Structure 1
Amino acid sequence: MPSDEPKSDSASGASRVFFDAILHPHRSLGRGGFKVLMGVVVALNLAVAGVLVAYGAWPVAPFCGLDVLVLWLAFRVNYRAARSYERVRLTTADLTVQRVHWKAPERRWTFHPYWLRVSHDEAGEPGHPVTLSSHGQSVGVGAFLSPEERSAFARSLDDALRAWRRPPCPPAPAG
């Protein structure tokens, strides 16, 4: 969640945090809903298997459990992927983008906020990230967000960058 007010960063003591957002992909079915869904699917499959056995088609019955297994595995992968997130943090010293993915090593990008440009497509089709760029380096953030969420995120980050640039802002690095 973006912070609205600058605050002290306890790790560095003197550094202020102007913006700190952790972005998670949306998951529409929680753990409770998953248990209910799996209970219904298992009950329906047991009923179908019971009817098949009653009519003498017992060799087909084990296959009724196969779709339950496939559904369970798909949700397991989905929930594992839900551990992925992106963190965007603007401090007095720099803007850091941290990307944590459940099956890949953590990646980190650091930008000096003085020259940082935030751009995104206002019409926003799903999958187009907010782009942060400076000095030929760029990174896309929040591709998994809805268009409204991406716009709100970009506006909040722009506001934080404006607050960072207001005097007395840190000096621009030479170069």
Structure 2
Amino acid sequence: MPSDGSTGGASRVFFDAILHPHRSLGRGGVRALMGVVITLNLLIAGGAWAIGAWPVAPFCGLDVLLLWLAFRVNARAARRYEQVRLTDADLTVRRVDERARERLTRFHPYWLRVRQDDQSAHGPQVTLSSHGRSVGVGSFLSPEERAAFALALDDALRAWRRPPCPPAPAG
């Protein structure tokens, strides 16, 4: 997750993480599963047709169509990601949704706090806050991944604050 290298510009990178939602099946796995489901549905529809229960056949096709649509929706949702990057100058949270729309939030790291809210039903939520602004990150991660992410980001912020750290802005 963290990166200690430099970007080639004047700014050092203390932390750079790209968070993606978990996908249980890759493209090949989806194709294989769909192949098995289509084959089984064709066998069931063929058997039903052979014994005179032809109205069953369209419902077998409907099963396949609904499963395919569910996988399409899941693949589209998996396109979203969040990038959290800490440099000498700032911490940026870039969120890209499934339609490739970007939302960028910047914080000055000097006052930034990383908080985990243990009250959530889905495990600890990671919240970055500073000067009355806050943003949640990694909501699609597992509780263990969120805890590891928060710890790594907190360690990077401590490293950023160690002398000689960039000066805090006035105000």
Per the TM superposition, whether the score is higher than 0.5 is yes
1:47 paired residue number: 43
> Superposition pairs for residues 1-175 of structure 1, below 5 Å?
1-3=1-3, 5=4, 7-10=5-8, 13-103=9-99, 105-121=101-117, 125-126=121-122, 128-175=124-171
* CA contact 1:126–1:145 (8 Å) conserved in 2: no
How far is 1:126 from its partner?
A: 2.1
Report the aligned-residue RMSD: 1.6
3-state SS of 2:55 partner = helix
How far is 1:125 from its partner?
A: 4.4
Please, which runs of 5 or more residues in structure 2 have no aligned partner?
A: none
Q: Which moved more, 1:100-109 or 1:138-147?
A: 100-109
CA distance in 1, matches of 2:65, 2:123: 30
* CA contact 1:124–1:147 (8 Å) conserved in 2: no
CA distance in 1, matches of 2:99, 2:63: 25
CA distance in 2, matches of 1:104, 1:14: 29
Please, which runs of 5 or more residues in structure 1 have no aligned partner?
A: none
* CA contact 1:92–1:170 (8 Å) conserved in 2: yes
Note closer, same or farther for the CA distance 1:110–1:89 as it changes in structure 2 (3 Å cut): same
Structure 2-normalised TM-score? 0.94
Count of matched residue pairs: 171
How far is 1:58 from its partner?
A: 1.8
Note closer, same or farther for the CA distance 1:70–1:41 as it changes in structure 2 (3 Å cut): same
3-state SS of 2:101 partner = strand
3-state SS of 1:114 partner = coil
3-state SS of 1:48 partner = helix
* CA contact 2:118–2:124 (8 Å) conserved in 1: no
Structure 1-normalised TM-score? 0.92
Q: Percent identity?
A: 75
Q: Which moved more, 1:39-48 or 1:92-101?
A: 39-48
CA distance in 1, matches of 2:122, 2:100: 23
* CA contact 2:2–2:156 (8 Å) conserved in 1: no
